[in-house]
Amino acid sequence: MSRVVYVLNGPNLNLLGKREPHIYGHETLADVEADCRKVGQDLGLEIQFHQSNREYEIIDWIHEAREVASGIVINPAAFTHTSVAILDALHACAFPILEVHISNIHKREPFRHHSYVSSVASGVIAGFGTQGYALALQRLARLIGSVPQA
């Protein structure tokens, strides 16, 4: 039986591929979703992929995941640096959480260096481009025992 994993994306990531491609690359969010589904299938994961520009919607998906999922991969985008509400929702989850950033937030403006989410994440991937999502799913599959430990 596949394990359910939520892949959550925050504000402006719907513009991926069009928005600041020198920072975020040319792949679209649909490309990322397709990649996550392909990798997820190979890892025995059922992917629930979502994006929203609204904080409450992301919180509602975290609450949903809490009931049905084995883990979360989240790119909270700008909410990374502002949202105690998303942090609190993630604290209510008993499974592994992996944080992804397409860009290397530590190389950018100082306000991007702090993440509220990192304190609850099992791991953080930043600066690996959109490939970071697939890497996070591989790690999550290990953490939840969906693939054998190497």
Structure token pair of residue 45: 């994961």
Site string for ligand DQA, 82-121 (x = CB under 6 A): -------------------xxx-x------x---------
Question: How far apart (Å, rounded) are the C-alpha atoms in residues 69 and 65?
Answer: 5
Site string for ligand DQA, 43-82 (x = CB under 6 A): --------------------------------x-xx-x--
Site string for ligand DQA, 5-44 (x = CB under 6 A): -------x--------------------------------
Start-end of H helices in the chain = 21-24, 29-43, 55-68, 84-91, 131-143
Please list the active-site residues.
24, 101
Query: How many residues of this chain interact with ligand DQA, rule: CB under 6 A?
Result: 10
Q: 105 exposed, middle or buried (CB, 10 Å; 0-12, 13-18, 19+)?
A: buried
- Is 80 or 83 the residue whose CB approaches ligand DQA more closely? 80
Strand pairing of 97-101 and 71-75? parallel
